């Protein structure tokens, strides 16, 4: 499968400060790609380079296999972290202007807008000025502006910061829908848990270096510890504890439960299977909680930073 | 893709549709003209007060020179003492009393002339009385020493040196004044245009930063296109405003003078009397003709073309600097520290232009300043009516265009980086660093 976007050894310095150091990422077509890292890691710089707002010092970028060129601006939809609209301009005129800058014709914009206005139930907003809208309403307009020209690549920088929960859900649904229609999506965020559930692929950036990249599921597999969280109901807690400890690697666990007596994290060795564990537990106590501990991206990130 | 027309269109329409812009456009000429009309009306009201002035001429030399006019009535008092005259004038609530005492000769008389009045008398009135008396007494003195006044009058000469260049081009003092007025007007117009609309560009750039739309825009267009679009769009709005001002101002002036015109002719204050006399004299009429001739004598084609080129060049040069400043800062209050590089050359240009061009339009200082790109648009515009060789104009224009290209490149660099910098007040050092990004 072709890649929607590739960056090859992209570096960028601002004076003495290195914002990006030989960063290469590969975004597969049709994926939702999480560009993750703490504040100041270089995510926004990389995104600005992809959007041709900033020029890289070295390295190359391929969009759909072609070297990036000014013509590609219309193929990308970008919702920046610092986003806003002309306060005194009317909603309709504003969208029209921004969409025309992306190369759409006036008639085409109006046709597509009908669809979105209906979808977001904002049909009567055409003549409203942005300063009359609430923040949540303005966010909907910003989203429409980002996707109206049906770009092949959508880039969202901290998409959910400042969005209310209803809008977050609305927009998550829309993004998934756009992916269904063939778009590739890049999320950049420092709140890793917020997009973890949506991402197929991720790259971790820390202090201008890429630390990790790949399919989220592969990375999680790679980082899994074979640990299971179990909750047991028993009459004789000390005895049960003793039996388990003699067979497995055990540590106390913390989770919410109504009537569990014993909460444990049990780490299996490579030759042990979860079924064996479960069978063993069932023969000794009543099991009311059994869950494989999957590392969160946050855990993986912290671990990677520690190891690097 | 070229988005320039689209950006220009938006910038122009937003400016022109802006409420305060519309109000400014239509209100300022009305306010200006109304102010002018009020001042004219008030001074007319002031001058219309009728005055009665009594004159007690004990010397008997001067009473015949006072002829009553519509607003000023002179009453000649005879055979009455000064104290009686004073109480009489006070009783009749007259404006004042002019007392000329008798003396053994004119030198003595002129020292004792006094004006008595309730309040401090009008300066204009006193000056007019003084000039009347001076004329009469000087004549009398001349007569006493046996000089024929008629001879004196005919012996007065009036010199107007005719000027002609070696190429045979004739000029006169009036020509020079007209040239100065044209050049000064063109230079000053450019100066005002830069200040007003340069600021407008700067504010519009800041607005895009504070409303945080800038990053969305520049993911669609190149920053330099956005900057040029802004400059051109705002300038077109500026030209629209200027044209409306000129037309509206002209129409209003016509209306006002139609209403007040007749009244103005009726005004009969002392200074107006003098002015009217002067206007009717054949000398002034000849001068008016000279002015018209001087205007026709100007190198009009050269002037028009040079005006357009230098105006556009100078304006674009400065407005790109304004755009760069707007991009560098977050709000208008932070712009102060960066205004110096714009205002200093601009003000220097106007002053150098006004002072050195009057002194010598082709002198070293004015010539040099008409080549330095930051001052050349204003100074060259002031010099051109005096006839500047084409090669000088071309070199100056070339330098201007080269500098303009450099400034736009420079401004675009600052713009490109600056528009994405939030929350920090940059220093000159920071901006220097941005150039290398």
**pLDDT, tens digit, 9 for 90 and up, residues B60-107:** 777 777 877 777 888 888 878 888 888 888 888 888 888 888 777 777
Interchain contact B429–A (C-beta under 8 A): no
Q: With contacts defined as CB-CB under 8 Å, which chain A residues touch B437?
A: 14-15, 54
Interchain contact B19–A (C-beta under 8 A): no
For Cα atoms B31, B12, A144, give the angle at the middle one, nearest 5 degrees.
130
What pLDDT is attached to residue B286?
65
Is the pLDDT score of B276 beyond 70? no
CB-CB: which of A14, A53, A84 is closest to B218? A53
Lowest mean pLDDT among A270-279, B273-282, B378-387: B273-282
CB-CB: which of A76, A79, A86 is closest to B211? A86
Helix crossing, A165-180 with A135-147: angle to 10°?
10
Is the pLDDT score of B266 beyond 50? no
Q: Do B216 and A142 touch (CB under 8 A)?
A: yes
- Cβ atoms within 10 Å, residue B135: 12
Average pLDDT along chain A: 87
Please name the residue of chain B whose CA is at the shortest distance from the CA of residue A87.
B211
What pLDDT is attached to residue A11?
92
d(CA B119, CA B122) in angstroms, rounded, equals 9
What pLDDT is attached to residue B170?
67
CB-CB: which of A85, A89, A101 is closest to B220? A101
* B242 CB-near residues (< 8 Å, 6+ apart): B193
- Cβ atoms within 10 Å, residue A281: 22
User: Percentage of residues in chain B with pLDDT exceeding 90?
Assistant: 5
Pairing of strands A66-67, A153-157: unpaired
Is the pLDDT score of B401 beyond 80? yes
Predicted confidence band of residue B260 (pLDDT cuts 50, 70, 90): low
CB-CB: which of A53, A84, A85 is closest to B219? A53
Predicted confidence band of residue A24 (pLDDT cuts 50, 70, 90): very high
Please name the residue of chain B whose CA is at the shortest distance from the CA of residue A149.
B220
Q: Which helix (H) or strand (E) holds B369?
A: helix B364-369
Q: With contacts defined as CB-CB under 8 Å, which chain B residues touch A145?
A: 216
Q: With contacts defined as CB-CB under 8 Å, which chain A residues touch B230?
A: none
The Cα-based distances of A55 to A50, A58, A68, A72, B416 in angstroms read: 9, 9, 11, 14, 11
Interchain contact B155–A (C-beta under 8 A): no
Stretch 186-215 of chain B: residues touching chain A, C-beta under 8 Å: 207-208, 211-213, 215
At the topology level, CATH places domain B51-149 in D-Maltodextrin-Binding Protein; domain 2 (3.40.190)
- Cβ atoms within 10 Å, residue B373: 21
Lowest mean pLDDT among A140-149, A176-185, B234-243, B299-308: B299-308
Predicted confidence band of residue A249 (pLDDT cuts 50, 70, 90): confident
Lowest mean pLDDT among A8-12, A297-301, B419-423: B419-423
CB B320 within 8 A of CB B408: yes
Q: Which of B343 and B170 is assigned the larger pLDDT? A: B343
Q: With contacts defined as CB-CB under 8 Å, which chain A residues touch B216?
A: 78-80, 83-85, 98, 142, 145
Q: Do B211 and A73 touch (CB under 8 A)?
A: no
What pLDDT is attached to residue A23?
92
What pLDDT is attached to residue B287?
65
What pLDDT is attached to residue B264?
47
* B321 CB-near residues (< 8 Å, 6+ apart): B198, B341, B342, B407, B411
Please name the residue of chain B whose CA is at the shortest distance from the CA of residue A12.
B437
CB A240 within 8 A of CB A285: yes
What pLDDT is attached to residue B174?
74
Q: Do B215 and A83 touch (CB under 8 A)?
A: yes
Q: Do A86 and B14 touch (CB under 8 A)?
A: yes
**SS3 label, residue B95:** coil
Is the pLDDT score of B121 beyond 50? yes
d(CA B418, CA B327) in angstroms, rounded, equals 5
What pLDDT is attached to residue B1?
57
Structure tokens at A288: 């009311």
CB-CB: which of A71, A82, A97 is closest to B215? A82
* A128 CB-near residues (< 8 Å, 6+ apart): A90, A91
* Range with top average pLDDT, A29-33, A121-125, A259-263: A29-33
* Range with top average pLDDT, A227-236, B3-12, B268-277, B279-288: B3-12
Q: Which helix (H) or strand (E) holds B10?
A: helix B4-17
| Secondary structure of chain A in HEC code, one letter for each residue | CCEEEEEEEEEEEECCEEEEEEEEEEEECCCEEEEECCCCCCHHHHHHHHCCCCCCCEEEEEECCEECCHHHHHHEEEECCCCCCCCCCEHHHHHHHHHHHCCCCHHHHHHHHHHHHHHCCCHHHCCCEHHHCCHHHHHHHHHHHHHCCCCCEEEEECCCCCCCHHHHHHHHHHHHHHHHCCCEEEEEECCHHHHHCCCCEEEEEECCEEEEEEEHHHHHHHHCCCEEEEEEECCCHHHHHHHHHHHCEEEECCCCCCCCCEEEEEECCCCCCHHHHHHHHHHHCEEEEEEECCCCHHHHHHHHHHHC
Interchain contact B224–A (C-beta under 8 A): no
Compute the average pLDDT of residues A128-155: 88
Q: Do B215 and A87 touch (CB under 8 A)?
A: no
Q: Do A80 and B221 touch (CB under 8 A)?
A: no
Q: Do A101 and B436 touch (CB under 8 A)?
A: no
Q: With contacts defined as CB-CB under 8 Å, which chain A residues touch B222?
A: 70
Q: b/e string for B45-57 if b means 16 or more Cβ within 10 A?
A: eebeeeeebbbbb
Compute the average pLDDT of residues A164-170: 84
Instruction: For B172-235, give the DSSP string.
Output: -HHHHHHHHHHHHHHHHHHHHHHHHHHHHHHHHHHHHHHTT-HHHHHTTS-HHHHHHHHHHHHH
* Interface with A, mutate which of B215, B226, B433 (most A CBs under 10 A): B215
The Cα-based distances of B103 to A155, B60, B64, B130 in angstroms read: 104, 10, 18, 18
Q: In chain B, how many H helices and how many E strands? A: 17, 6
Predicted confidence band of residue B136 (pLDDT cuts 50, 70, 90): confident
Is the pLDDT score of B9 beyond 90? yes
CB-CB: which of B3, B7, B213 is closest to A84? B213
CB A144 within 8 A of CB A110: no
For Cα atoms B164, B168, B173, give the angle at the middle one, nearest 5 degrees.
25
Of the candidates B163, B167, B160, B110, the one whose C-alpha atom is nearest the C-alpha of residue B136 is B110
Q: Do B437 and A15 touch (CB under 8 A)?
A: yes
Q: Do B220 and A85 touch (CB under 8 A)?
A: no
Please name the residue of chain A whose CA is at the shortest distance from the CA of residue B208.
A86
Q: With contacts defined as CB-CB under 8 Å, which chain B residues touch A84?
A: 211-213, 216
Instruction: For B379-417, give the DSSP string.
Output: HHHHHGGG---HHHHHHHHHHHHHHHHHHHHHHHHHHHH
What pLDDT is attached to residue A154?
93
Pairing of strands A227-233, A286-292: antiparallel
Q: Do A73 and B1 touch (CB under 8 A)?
A: yes
Interchain contact B427–A (C-beta under 8 A): no
Of the candidates B95, B99, B93, the one whose C-alpha atom is nearest the C-alpha of residue B76 is B99
Pairing of strands B51-57, B72-77: parallel
Q: Which of B140 and B270 is assigned the larger pLDDT? A: B140
Helix crossing, B19-47 with B223-266: angle to 10°?
20
Q: How is the beta sheet containing A17-28 ordered, strand by strand? A: A17-28, A3-14, A58-63, A66-67
CA distance A2 to chain B (A): 24
CA distance B15 to chain A (A): 11
Predicted confidence band of residue B171 (pLDDT cuts 50, 70, 90): low
Residues in chain B: 437
Predicted confidence band of residue A47 (pLDDT cuts 50, 70, 90): very high
Is the pLDDT score of B418 beyond 90? no
Q: Do A83 and B216 touch (CB under 8 A)?
A: yes
User: Percentage of residues in chain A with pLDDT exceeding 70?
Assistant: 100
Q: With contacts defined as CB-CB under 8 Å, which chain A residues touch B14?
A: 86, 88-89
d(CA B224, CA B217) in angstroms, rounded, equals 12
Predicted confidence band of residue A46 (pLDDT cuts 50, 70, 90): very high
Q: With contacts defined as CB-CB under 8 Å, which chain A residues touch B7?
A: 101
CB B306 within 8 A of CB B400: no
For residue B149, what are the β-bridge partners? none
Is the pLDDT score of B421 beyond 80? no
Q: With contacts defined as CB-CB under 8 Å, which chain B residues touch A85?
A: 211, 213, 216
* B52 CB-near residues (< 8 Å, 6+ apart): B72, B73, B74, B75, B92, B94, B95
Largest interatomic CA distance in chain B: 99
Compute the average pLDDT of residues B150-161: 80
pLDDT, tens digit, 9 for 90 and up, residues B403-415 = 988 888 888 888 8
pLDDT, tens digit, 9 for 90 and up, residues B283-306 = 556 666 777 777 776 777 888 888
In chain B the first and final C-alpha atoms are separated, in Å, by: 25
What pLDDT is attached to residue B261?
58
**Domain layout of chain B by residue ranges:** 51-149, 172-202+283-434
* Interface with B, mutate which of A17, A75, A84, A153 (most B CBs under 10 A): A84
* Interface with A, mutate which of B2, B213, B230, B424 (most A CBs under 10 A): B213
Q: Do B220 and A145 touch (CB under 8 A)?
A: no
CB-CB: which of B14, B219, B436 is closest to A51? B219
Lowest mean pLDDT among A286-295, B160-169, B249-258, B403-412: B160-169
Please name the residue of chain B whose CA is at the shortest distance from the CA of residue A83.
B212
Is the pLDDT score of B384 beyond 90? no
Predicted confidence band of residue B378 (pLDDT cuts 50, 70, 90): confident
CB-CB: which of B211, B219, B422 is closest to A87? B211
CA distance A57 to chain B (A): 9
What pLDDT is attached to residue B267?
45
Structure tokens at B347: 């003000």
Structure tokens at A100: 């025309």
Residues in chain A: 308
Q: With contacts defined as CB-CB under 8 Å, which chain B residues touch A70?
A: 1, 222
Compute the average pLDDT of residues B107-117: 84
d(CA B30, CA B257) in angstroms, rounded, equals 14
CB B38 within 8 A of CB B258: no
Predicted confidence band of residue B265 (pLDDT cuts 50, 70, 90): very low
> Token match 């975004």: residue?
A27
Q: Do B3 and A101 touch (CB under 8 A)?
A: yes
Q: How distant is the alpha carbon of residue B420 from its chain centre?
A: 42
Compute the average pLDDT of residues B110-127: 84
What pLDDT is attached to residue A99?
92
């Amino acid at each position: 499968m072709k890649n929607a976007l590739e960056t090859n050894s992209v570096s960028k310095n601002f004076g003495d400060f290195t914002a990006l150091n030989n960063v290469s990422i590969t975004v597969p077509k049709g994926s939702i790609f999480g560009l993750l890292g703490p504040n100041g890691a270089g995510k926004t710089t990389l995104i600005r380079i992809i959007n041709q707002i900033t020029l890289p010092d070295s390295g190359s970028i391929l969009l759909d296999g072609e070297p990036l060129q000014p013509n590609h601006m219309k193929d990308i939809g970008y919702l920046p972290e610092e986003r806003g609209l002309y306060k005194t301009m009317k909603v309709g005129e504003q969208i029209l202007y921004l969409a025309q800058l992306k190369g759409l014709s006036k008639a085409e914009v109006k046709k597509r807008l009908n669809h979105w206005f209906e979808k977001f139930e904002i049909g009567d907003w055409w003549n409203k000025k942005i300063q009359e809208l609430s923040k949540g309403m303005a966010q909907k307009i910003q989203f429409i502006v980002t996707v109206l020209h049906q770009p092949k690549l959508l880039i969202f920088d901290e998409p959910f910061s400042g969005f209310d929960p209803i809008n977050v859900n609305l927009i998550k649904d829309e993004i998934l829908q756009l992916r269904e229609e063939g778009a590739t999506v890049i999320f950049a965020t420092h709140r890793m848990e917020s997009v973890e559930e949506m991402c197929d692929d991720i790259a971790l950036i820390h202090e201008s270096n890429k630390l990790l990249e790949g399919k989220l599921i592969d990375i999680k597999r790679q980082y899994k510890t074979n640990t299971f969280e179990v909750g047991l109901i028993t009459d004789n807690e000390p005895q049960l504890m003793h039996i388990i400890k003699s067979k497995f690697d055990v540590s106390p666990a913390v989770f919410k439960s109504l009537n569990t007596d014993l909460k444990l994290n049990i780490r299996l060795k490579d030759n042990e299977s979860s079924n064996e564990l479960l069978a063993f537990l069932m023969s000794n106590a009543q099991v009311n909680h059994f869950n494989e501990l999957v590392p969160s991206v946050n855990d993986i990130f912290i671990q990677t930073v520690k190891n690097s | 893709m070229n988005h320039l027309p689209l950006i220009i269109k938006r910038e122009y329409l937003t400016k022109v549709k802006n409420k305060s812009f519309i109000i400014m456009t239509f209100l300022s000429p009305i306010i200006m003209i109304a102010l002018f009309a009020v001042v004219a009306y008030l001074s007319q009201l002031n001058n219309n007060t009728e005055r009665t002035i009594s004159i007690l001429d004990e010397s008997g030399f001067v009473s015949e020179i006072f002829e009553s006019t519509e607003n000023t009535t002179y009453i000649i008092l005879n055979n009455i003492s000064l104290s009686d005259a004073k109480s009489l004038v006070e009783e009749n609530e007259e404006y004042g009393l002019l007392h000329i005492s008798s003396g053994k000769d004119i030198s003595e008389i002129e020292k004792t002339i006094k004006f008595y009045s309730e309040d401090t008398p009008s300066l204009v009135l006193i000056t007019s009385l003084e000039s009347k008396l001076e004329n009469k007494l000087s004549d009398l003195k001349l007569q006493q020493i046996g000089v024929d006044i008629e001879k004196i009058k005919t012996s007065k000469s009036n010199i107007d040196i005719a000027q002609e260049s070696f190429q045979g081009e004739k000029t006169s003092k009036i020509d020079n004044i007209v040239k100065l007025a044209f050049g000064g007007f063109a230079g000053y117009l450019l100066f005002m245009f830069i200040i007003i609309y340069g600021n407008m560009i700067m504010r519009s750039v800041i607005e895009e930063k504070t409303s945080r739309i800038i990053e969305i825009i520049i993911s669609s267009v190149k920053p330099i296109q956005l900057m040029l679009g802004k400059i051109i769009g705002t300038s077109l709005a500026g030209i629209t405003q200027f044209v409306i001002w000129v037309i509206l101002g002209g129409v209003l002036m016509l209306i006002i003078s139609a209403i007040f015109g007749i009244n103005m002719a009726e005004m009969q204050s002392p200074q107006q009397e003098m002015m009217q006399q002067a206007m009717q004299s054949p000398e002034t009429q000849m001068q008016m003709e000279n002015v018209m001739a001087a205007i026709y004598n100007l190198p009009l084609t050269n002037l028009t073309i040079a005006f357009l080129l230098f105006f556009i060049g100078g304006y674009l040069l400065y407005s790109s600097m304004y755009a760069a400043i707007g991009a560098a800062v977050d709000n208008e209050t932070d712009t102060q520290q960066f205004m110096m590089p714009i205002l200093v050359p601009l003000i220097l240009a106007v002053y150098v232009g006004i002072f050195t061009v009057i002194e010598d339009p082709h002198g070293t200082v004015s010539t040099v300043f008409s080549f330095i790109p930051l001052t050349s648009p204003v100074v060259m515009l002031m010099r051109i009516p005096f006839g500047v060789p084409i090669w000088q104009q071309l070199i100056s224009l070339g330098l201007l265009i080269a500098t303009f290209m450099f400034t736009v490149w420079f401004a675009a660099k600052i713009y490109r980086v600056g528009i994405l910098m939030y929350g920090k007040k940059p220093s000159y050092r920071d901006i220097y660093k941005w150039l290398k990004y």
